[in-house]
């Protein structure tokens, strides 16, 4: 599968690293409004300085859009209207109205369209699901779920938001969708209902790709899932593999995406 990228910001290094580990997917082009980011690409991958040039010349099966969150709808719409299939980073838009507009365009054009929920492909999430699916789950019925997603964009030393976070739209807008996509791997999103939404501050909790099992407040089992790659690289390896399978079968993830985004927008 030939893939191209629009947006080479802070997440691109992990996406590029993931693609380096996948022989079945080839990167064939990229665009970013900052020309100096072309240096992130392998020498053999063309860089297009404008979106128009990219759309005219880049021959990709699928375009991954990882631009600032507030631009997802505008750029995603241009990709679909140009007749190219789209993989759009989460959250897909700023409203349900924009989301359904993209869905309609993709349907009218007969194009593959999917949302990239990278956090739902974490190695710890995949580990737990494998335990359930293979009958190895000896931990009982899931009766509750607590998760914390923390944006590492606030500098506690200066008390200011890092410049790289200005375009993300806030911690809920950038990471709330991650939390919902993970919860929806364990609980059907149609079974979830918003009962409260509020802002708060929380302590920083490190993520180390390790599973811990406690019983009666005692640690009875732990397993490191580290494989020498960064956590986000692992997310995107699993995501790209799944998207490739979906693309080949023309099976998008939009029903799942609609349900998650409905909860996401309701909480806003």
**Do β-strands 113-116 and 85-89 pair in parallel, antiparallel, or remain unpaired?**
parallel
Q: Which CATH superfamily is domain 2-117 in?
A: NAD(P)-binding Rossmann-like Domain (3.40.50.720)
State pLDDT tens for residues 151-203: 667 777 887 777 767 777 777 888 889 989 999 998 899 998 888 887 777 66
Per-residue confidence in pLDDT tens, the chain, 268 aa? 999 999 999 899 999 999 999 999 999 999 999 999 999 999 999 999 999 999 999 999 999 999 998 999 999 999 999 999 999 999 999 999 999 999 999 999 999 999 999 999 999 999 988 888 887 767 777 777 776 666 667 777 887 777 767 777 777 888 889 989 999 998 899 998 888 887 777 666 666 788 888 888 899 889 999 999 999 999 999 999 999 999 999 999 999 999 999 999 998 8
Instruction: State both tokens at 92.
Output: 């897909």
Distance in angstroms (rounded) separating the CA atoms of residues 172 and 166: 13
Amino acid 205: pLDDT: 63
Amino acid 1: pLDDT: 97
Amino acid 39: pLDDT: 96
Amino acid 157: pLDDT: 81
pTM, two decimals, is 0.91
Question: Domain coordinates of the chain in residue numbers?
Answer: 2-117, 120-232
- The CA distances from residue 122 to 8, 126, 182, in Å, are 22, 6, 9
Nearest one of 249, 210, 19, 215 to 114, comparing CA atoms: 249
Amino acid 233: pLDDT: 97
Tokens 């989301």 map to which residue? 99
Question: Do residues 222 and 213 lie in contact, with contact meaning Cβ atoms separated by under 8 Å?
Answer: yes
Amino acid 137: pLDDT: 67
Amino acid 86: pLDDT: 98
């Amino acid at each position: 599968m030939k893939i191209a990228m629009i947006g080479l910001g802070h997440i691109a290094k992990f996406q590029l690293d993931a693609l380096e580990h996948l022989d079945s997917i080839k990167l064939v082009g990229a665009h970013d409004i900052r020309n100096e980011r072309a240096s992130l690409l392998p020498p053999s991958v063309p860089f297009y300085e404008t979106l128009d040039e990219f759309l005219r010349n880049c021959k990709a099966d699928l375009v991954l859009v990882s631009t600032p969150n507030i631009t997802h709808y505008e750029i995603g719409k241009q990709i679909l209207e140009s007749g190219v299939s789209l993989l759009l980073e989460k959250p897909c838009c700023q409203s349900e109205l924009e989301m359904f507009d993209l869905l309609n365009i993709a349907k009218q054009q007969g194009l593959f369209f999917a949302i990239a929920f990278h956090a739902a492909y974490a190695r710890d999430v995949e580990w737990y699901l494998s335990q359930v699916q293979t009958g190895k789950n000896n931990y009982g019925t899931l009766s509750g779920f607590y998760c914390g997603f923390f944006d590492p964009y606030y500098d506690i030393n200066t008390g200011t938001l890092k410049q790289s976070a200005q375009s993300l739209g806030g911690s809920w807008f950038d990471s709330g969708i991650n939390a919902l996509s993970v919860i929806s791997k364990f609980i059907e999103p149609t079974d979830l209902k918003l009962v409260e939404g509020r802002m708060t501050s929380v302590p920083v909790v490190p993520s180390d790709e390790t599973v811990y099992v406690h019983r009666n407040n005692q640690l009875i089992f732990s397993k490191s899932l580290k494989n020498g790659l960064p956590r986000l690289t692992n997310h995107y390896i699993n995501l790209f593999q799944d998207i490739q399978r979906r693309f080949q079968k023309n099976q998008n993830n939009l029903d799942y995406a609609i349900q998650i985004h409905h909860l996401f927008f309701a909480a806003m």
